[in-house]
Amino acid sequence: MDIFSASKDADFIPGHLSHAEVERLSRSFLFADLNPSTLSLALASCQCLRLPEKKDVYRRGDAGDEMCIVLSGGVKVSTLSEDGKEIIFDLLTEGDFFGELSLIDSKPRTATVTTLVPSVLVILERDFLMSFMEENPATAIRLLHILAHRLRAVDTFLEEVLFFDSETRLAKRVMALKDIYGKAVGNAAQIEIKVSQQDIANLVGITRESVNKHLKKWERAGIVSLQQGRLTICNFPLLQELASEVGDLNLMKR
């Protein structure tokens, strides 16, 4: 398996997932129609992969016939231009999955996937998943739903790059981060996942300097707070106003 060979220093856990882990997976969108006992039986032969932060799961161009579900932690899906500039396509967290394209068409990976924090991944091989979806067609329909969402997300990203300024695009991404990773702290929301300003810049498609300039401006206006590398949103209406040029276009929202 290419995922295993690409992560030589990883900790491989064969065999059963715990009841608590299966319960968490059963709450993910992909498996929402299945009861935990059915899911536990189906996943009994699957393996888990534990990785430290900033570890590549696989790289663009690798061969592969598996997809992964994020059991805990988070990953970024990215690629590099010829001059070494990174573009982040998506940030994925618990319950999200990746690697489905190579699993379906047997072609090389289209992006590099890297852990943002220590993460546990469940590995689903092609033969297993195809058989599983034949027996559970609702899961196949949910997979198609997410693929359609991701195609729409690409259209949205291209539209934003072509038509909107850097501050509007940044506001949209910060709102998306709040929706997915925000933890309520009083009347504010702190972004829990570890994402650097460079990561945000690569996600938006602007420079790190632009991200820093806009965040500092927002901090002075009381929209956000930056402390110890953590981003906290303090004024939702003002941030929403900055992001509302084209309504509710949200690249990462499931």
Measured CA to CA, the distance from residue 165 to residue 176 in angstroms comes to: 17
The confidence score (pLDDT) of residue 248 equals 40
- Considering only CA atoms, which of 233, 250, 137 is closest in space to residue 188? 233
The confidence score (pLDDT) of residue 8 equals 53
* pLDDT greater than 80 at residue 9: no
Tally Cβ neighbours within 10 Å of residue 202: 23
pLDDT tens by residue, 81-92: 888 888 888 889
Residue 107: pLDDT band (50, 70, 90) is: very high
pTM given for the model: 0.77
- Considering only CA atoms, which of 142, 121, 107 is closest in space to residue 34? 142
* pLDDT greater than 70 at residue 113: yes
DSSP-assigned letter for residue 88: E
Measured CA to CA, the distance from residue 64 to residue 61 in angstroms comes to: 9
Q: Which fold has domain 2-159?
A: Jelly Rolls (2.60.120)
Contact 104, 138 (CB under 8 A): no
Residue 27: pLDDT band (50, 70, 90) is: confident
| 227 or 172: which leads in pLDDT | 172
pLDDT tens by residue, 141-170: 999 999 998 888 888 778 777 788 899 999
- Considering only CA atoms, which of 11, 146, 30, 38 is closest in space to residue 95? 30
pLDDT-wise least confident of 6-20, 35-49, 58-72, 149-163: 6-20
Residue 209: pLDDT band (50, 70, 90) is: very high
Q: What is the average per-residue pLDDT within 65-71?
A: 92
* pLDDT greater than 90 at residue 252: no
Domain 164-243 has CATH 1.10.10.10: yes
Name 243's Cβ contacts closer than 8 Å, sequence gap at least 6: 168, 171, 172, 174, 175
Helix axes 166-181, 236-243, angle to 10 degrees: 130
| Domain boundaries defined on the chain | 2-159, 164-243
